[in-house]
Chains A and B, each alone.
Chain A
Amino acid sequence: MLNIEVNGRKITAKEGDTILQALTRAGIKVPTLCYLEGMLPSGACRMCVVEVAGAPSLIPSCSFPAAEGMKIKTNTPQVLEARKTIVELLLSNHPDDCLYCIRGGDCDLQRLAKENGVRHRVFRGARTKRAKDVSSPALVRDPEKCILCGKCVRVCEEVQGVSAIDFIQRGSNTFIGTAYNSGLNVSSCINCGQCVLVCPTGALAERSYVDEVLKALNTPGKTVVVQHAPAVSVSIAEEFNMKPGTDIDGKMVAGLRRVGFKKVFDTSFTADLTIMEEGSELVKRATGGGVLPMFTSCSPGWIKFVEQFYPELIPNLSTCKSPQQMMGALIKTFFAQREKINPADIISVSIMPCTAKKFEAARPELGRDYASDVDYVLTTRELAELFRVTGVDPSALEPETPDTPFGERSGAGKIFGASGGVMEAAIRSAYFLITGSELKDYNIQELRGMKGCKELRVKAGKIELGAAVVSSLGQARKLIEEIKAGRSDLQFIEVMTCPGGCINGGGQPLRANMDAIKARMSALHQIDKDAPLRVSHKNTQVKRLYEEFLGAPLSHKSHELLHTHYTKRDVLR
């Protein structure tokens, strides 16, 4: 324990703490900008400076270790003036169009300007004109709004191991861009949107389709249906000032109907279907000498990652489409036939915690008859906007249930939204498929939690499988390198692109700290715990779908609608 004095008060710090960590724990707020929770500090922005007795100049608290007997002052005139000047300088070449900015009212730079008492433009720097990058179907980059904090570059490199973007040129000409400053669409960007979550300004945002969806909802003759992903209902509440981890599943369904969607389907239903297909595929590969280890294929960022960085592993990817695309395929075939609607008159919208799903929906191999199975993908944030634009307050509505034939879900389908969930759901059903009896305990604690890599050995009858769960592609890359170096004890590997899984997806509400992410995760596990139905293979609507339409898992029809293949992708990497 270290004793330090802050603003005349005594506090204690742990050995190895930075000043910022010690201050935060003691409840003393220091503004930060380039600081990223859980990652090494870069000390680039100098926003967190404090005065330390005896130090020749102000000290950035995020990157300076606390020491015994330190005397710190966090709000002397010198400190306040320095912080204010930093904001003023950042604003010197920042556009003034906050009213029209996607982050207006929700922007770290705006908040810092307000908190530090910046009331007018002090410096008038030359504005650099730079074109917006609108080439990606998932993300939009506006370099003019960029303040070069470097958070997106660090997340892309250190968390995801992708490094699609970096600092280009130098000095006042510096900007953040891809190799050869080409569009994101031809870069190695995997559309995960983790950069959007950390961007303090409007320089990075999802490509919004709210206008298109509103237009579709008001087009006569079109049947507009919607599906919502498991991780959306436990996070959208944050957009309406509720506590992180509040589940408003029913209220959200009610809200979607108020907005005007004809049918509301639950993507957790096709998550159950995914388990039936993927579980059967795993058993077939394990018993029939197929390519192992098998990787899950639900996370579209991961799929693109494999296509461009590890094309030799494409045979290891499960051929199952993601739950979103399975639902999309069923809506435009089974549902269209059942309701006697021309598939061309159905507009299929999905609500996802993910920006990469926008890219996935536009993949040509995942559509039919030259049209996409899923027409528009909205992120959780965009759904909140849709609710606000249409004057729907989900918190005030009575909960409703989703529509048949794709409305029933198991707890197993719901935990798809958290890292480890797909594996847990798959083990529950694979155990039944192999042994014919149910697992004694459905809760598999080893696979839960925020750890980047979790492993487990599963025994079911005569089959023993090594299972691993990784979240974030940096972790995935580590595991792949181990496997390429000869590791062979793993047969089934779940990969989620975002750290912690979809609950921390690139389309989720902004400014969620680690506690909020954990709250979302435990909310999903609570829903699973309380669910009357906890295994995918007992979902009666899934069973009916097989009886009436698909036949059996891995049948010809299933292959046609629910499976796909991927090919090597050439990008500048």
Chain B
Amino acid sequence: MTALPAVPPAEVRRAAPVLEARGLTLDYAGAAGRHRAVEDVSFDVAAGERLVLLGPSGCGKSSILKALAGFVRPASGSVSLRGAAVTGPGPDRIVVFQEFDQLLPWKSVRDNVAFPLRVARGLSLKEARARADTALVKVGLARALDAYPHTLSGGMKQRAAIARALAAEPDVLLMDEPFAALDALTRRTLQEDLLKLAEEQGFTLVFVTHAIDEAVLVGTRLHLLAAHPGRTIATFETAGLGLAERGTPAFEQVVRDVHELLFADGGRHV
């Protein structure tokens, strides 16, 4: 909808998408019968791209992520990963949740990260632990390898969850408001560290958030959604807006544009 100074990475665009959502329509059963959460949402995610689903609460962004993960079946439309239809959850799409209890409390941090490598990839315990250690060092948890999750702070738990997702080397990383329950300072540090990791490893990411500045910072492309039912209202290319551009006029302009779109006509879309 809106053209931006940022140039989309053309070579990425041409490649076949890793993840495709086509005409995604999601219903859920509520107290008053079936309720439409998302209507006819489509997007592609290319390799190395970071797509952000952004919208107010009730726009179904988390439901879309659950459908991508295979936890919920769409009422109509489809999700496909590398051309194959997604029919259920699988370790090729690892999810990082918002909730701190996503780490399994009965396993040490190291074994939490090693767990998907063991059960989904069939690695030996030794190999899985070695990879877990490498991933945890990368996210700055070298000193918490043997700790149990309940002894960690919220930020450390989310770091461990990100390490667990990265170590599993999924085709697509799915993140459902992973920093929403953190304090502002920790959130900022984790956003920066996530971007640094993305630069190093070049993973493909679908990131759900309701914070506009976080969306512009983290994403290479934004997919704006309106609520009741969730539907696409715009897409933004933000590949050129990262850590270095934060606070620059170009960055703030995009934040304002997105804000205006979301709250146009006194919050018509909200």
Q: Tell me, yes or no, whether A binds B.
A: no
